[in-house]
Amino acid sequence: MLCSYATSGIAQSTKTGTVNRPEVETPEEIQMEAPVQIGERLELFVDRHLIETMTKVEFRLHEPQRLPLPESPLTGAYMTIIKDGDLHRAYYRGDDPDYTGRRNYSGHPGEITCYAESRDGHEWTFPALGLFDVNGTHSNNVILAKEPPFHHNFSPFLDTRPGVDQNERFKALAGHPGFNRNNLGGLHSFASPDGIHWKKSSDKPVIPYQQSWSHAFDSQNVSFWSEAEQLYVAYFRTWTRLST
């Protein structure tokens, strides 16, 4: 199941109050509009799909607070955090200081993917993994380099599907139309047994770029195994050409 979706923030309900399901007007609607059974499942109230009225409750954008982090020479954007047991794993885009080419476009060869970890979500470390030579040293926290445009928005997830191959316990989507839409345009699948050593699953994208789009995938493309749908679900952004 694939969805194209973009949002500017996450809303949360605050304060104490009550919420009610919509009223129905006919016996047929009463039968069709039975309450949604969510059990113990957590629900994000990003819209009013489950709510008709609210009393002393309001939607409010969450207000993030800056948290100082240890100094790292390879900082960047598109942060993904995965809770794996008692370990928090963070993935983010960095820049290779050695790259001297053009940087004014998404998916350029100077982009890299970096890794950090934490036991409590507050104190973070940047382990020296020794996987790639960046800035003249292997002593860095880089997990993916020299494979543009996949570093631009590498977005991993912990695969919770029952029976998943342990060699593919972690998966990720990455890709961008970039400079070669015919050959590399699309979201490609990556897999890892430990969240650190990654391999591309196929040379072909699992979600190809469509020529009818004016642009796509220039954001954090989120994917996961959905227990509700019993499918893998991906959220990504596309641009459409507007006729004038």
Confidence of residue 209 (pLDDT cuts 50, 70, 90): confident
How high is the pLDDT of residue 13?
Answer: 34
Q: Express each pLDDT in 58-117 by its tens digit.
A: 888 888 887 666 666 667 788 899 999 999 999 999 988 888 888 877 778 889 999 999
Instruction: Round to whole Å and give the CA distance between 166 and 17.
Output: 44
The stretch 140-155 carries a mean pLDDT of 92
- Whether residue 241 is predicted with pLDDT greater than 70 in this model: the reply is yes
Which residues are paired to 189 by β-bridges? 173
Residue 133 pLDDT > 90: yes
pLDDT of residue 6 exceeding 60, the answer is: no
Nearest CA-CA partner of 191 in 223, 162, 156: 156
What domains are defined for the chain? 2-61 (no CATH), 77-240 (2.115.10.20)
For 12, 16, 26, 40, 100, the CA distances from 52, given in Å and listed in that order, are: 16, 16, 17, 21, 56
Query: For residue 194, how many C-alpha atoms fall within 13 Å in the half-sphere facing its CB?
Result: 6
More confident site: 6 or 28:
28
Find the helix or strand (DSSP H, E) in which 19 lies.
Answer: strand 18-20
Average pLDDT, the chain: 81
Backbone φ, ψ for residue 34 (5° rounding)? -65, 150
pLDDT for residue 20:
54
Residue 125 scores a pLDDT above 70: yes
Contacts of 42 (CB under 8 A, 6+ apart): none
- Separation of first and last alpha carbons in the chain: 32
* Lowest mean pLDDT, pick from 14-18, 155-159, 186-190: 14-18
